[in-house]
Each structure stands twice: as structure tokens, then as C-alpha cells.
């Protein structure tokens, strides 16, 4: 196993991804490492949980896994969030998100 970047933490259930979200972006994209976080731009506005739902949808699509495998562990009302991803390795997440 290779050393994981600071935004990824493996546990017995899967992986925790520390994400920094930029809402109201011109397009949905995984930008890449941003300090201790993985920066993700999304087009959704942070209204009534819409941005959180959109973020999980984008990440699930990018990682080619069901959205049900993703949940927000902390930071639901913050731009910095911890996302739990069940049943996947850190190496696989990094590979599918195409970031280092």
C-alpha cells in the first residue's frame, strides 16, 4: 500500500475523505489537494442541504459507486466536510478521483 494523501484516512469500514467545497461554481469538478483537504467545486448553492446532496452525487459518480455508500460524517453546514465512503480502499478512491 502506498502512503495516502492527507485528505484520505482509511478505517475498517472504508475511507474518510476530508473535502473543502466551493459552491456556486461554474461547473462540477474535483480540483485536487488543497492543504489537508481535497477541493471540490460544485454548481449547487448551499440552500436547504442541496449542496450536500449534490456533492455526494458528484463524488459517487466520479468514484463509480452507489451514492448510498457515501455519507457526511461532519461539517454538514461548513465548507470543510468529512465524507465517509464505505467498502472501498484509499488507493482505489485516489485512483478513481484521479488526484494525487
Does 2 reside within a domain? no
SS (H, E, C) the chain: CCCCCCCEEECCCEEEEEEEEECCCCCCEEEEEECCEEEEECCCCCCCCHHHHHHHHHHHHHHCCCHHHEEEEECCCCCEEEEEEECCCHHHHHHHHCCC
Does 28 reside within a domain? yes
Q: Is the pLDDT of residue 100 over 70?
A: no
Domain that holds residue 33: 8-97
Nearest one of 98, 77, 95, 94 to 17, comparing CA atoms? 94
How confident is the model at residue 76, as a pLDDT? Answer: 92
Does 60 reside within a domain? yes
Does 87 reside within a domain? yes
For the beta carbon of residue 100, count every other beta carbon within 10 angstroms.
7
Nearest one of 75, 64, 61 to 19, comparing CA atoms? 75
Does 1 reside within a domain? no
Task: Note the pLDDT tens digit of each residue in 43-97.
Answer: 999 888 899 999 999 999 999 999 999 999 999 999 999 999 999 999 999 889 8
For the domain that residue 58 is a member of, what is the CATH number? 3.30.1200.10
Amino acid at each position: 500500500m502506498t502512503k495516502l494523501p492527507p485528505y484520505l484516512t482509511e478505517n475498517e469500514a472504508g475511507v474518510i475523505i476530508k473535502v473543502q467545497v466551493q459552491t456556486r461554481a461554474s461547473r462540477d469538478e474535483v480540483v485536487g489537494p488543497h492543504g489537508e483537504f481535497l477541493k471540490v467545486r460544485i454548481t449547487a448553492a448551499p440552500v436547504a442541504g442541496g449542496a450536500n446532496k449534490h456533492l455526494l452525487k458528484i463524488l459517487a459518480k466520479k468514484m463509480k459507486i452507489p451514492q448510498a455508500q457515501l455519507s457526511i460524517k461532519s461539517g454538514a453546514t461548513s465548507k470543510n466536510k468529512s465524507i465517509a465512503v464505505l467498502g472501498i480502499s484509499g488507493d482505489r478512491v485516489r485512483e478513481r478521483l484521479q488526484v494525487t
